[in-house]
Amino acid sequence: MLIRDMTVADVDGVYEIEKETFSDPWSKASFLESIAEPNNHYLVAIMEGSVVGYCGYWGIAGEGYIYNVAVKASHLRQGVGLRMLEELIMQAVSRGITSLTLEVRQSNEAAINLYKRLDFTEVGTRKDFYTKPLEDAIIMWRSPIH
């Protein structure tokens, strides 16, 4: 598996996963705009030439906000999510990020377990943060990162 920066050429593959995964998917245009923004850093996981996962964070003033973590349904539970986020964290540290945060649906056991494995802790909730279906978010932080 190769983990590398997301490029414009990856966006079709990323969007296919986004569509199959989320009830309120980002558009291709949103990904294209996001990867062009210098404070965003997106990674893709590539297997046999295809995108099998992606993640990204927005980082500024030492803090990073992780979003858009997803792995292709056919490649779940093979360590893709863990490897991508380990790489994201390493890169964030090298860019001077000292803490990382994210939100996750409170029913999303897979993602919560993944983030806990990466030493994120639950620090609070955001009421009705998600729609389709309406659900609270758990706020998680990892601080400090090193």
Which active-site residues does the annotation give? 103, 115
List Cα–Cα distances, 15 to 8, 11, 45, 128, in angstroms. Answer: 11, 6, 14, 25
**Amino acid present at 139:** I
Binding of residue 79 to ligand COA (CB under 6 A):
yes
> What backbone phi and psi angles, to 5 degrees, belong to 87?
-65, -45
List Cα–Cα distances, 140 to 31, 42, 136, in angstroms. Answer: 23, 20, 13
Structure tokens at 130: 């998600």
Nearest-CB residue for ligand COA? 81
Binding of residue 81 to ligand COA (CB under 6 A):
yes
Binding of residue 111 to ligand COA (CB under 6 A):
yes
Listed ranges 7-15, 56-64, 101-109, 125-133: which one lies at the site for ligand COA (CB under 6 A): 101-109
Binding of residue 82 to ligand COA (CB under 6 A):
yes
Least distance between ligand COA and beta carbon 109 (Å): 5
Binding ligand COA by CB under 6 A: which of 50, 78, 98, 106?
78
DSSP-derived 3-state class of residue 97: coil
Binding of residue 50 to ligand COA (CB under 6 A):
no
Binding of residue 21 to ligand COA (CB under 6 A):
yes
Binding of residue 74 to ligand COA (CB under 6 A):
no
Q: Which residues of 21-45 are buried (b: 16+ CB within 10 A; e: fewer)?
A: eeeeebeeeebeebbeeeebbbbbb
Q: Which parts of this chain interact with ligand COA (CB under 6 A)?
A: 21, 69-71, 76-82, 104, 108-111, 113-114, 117
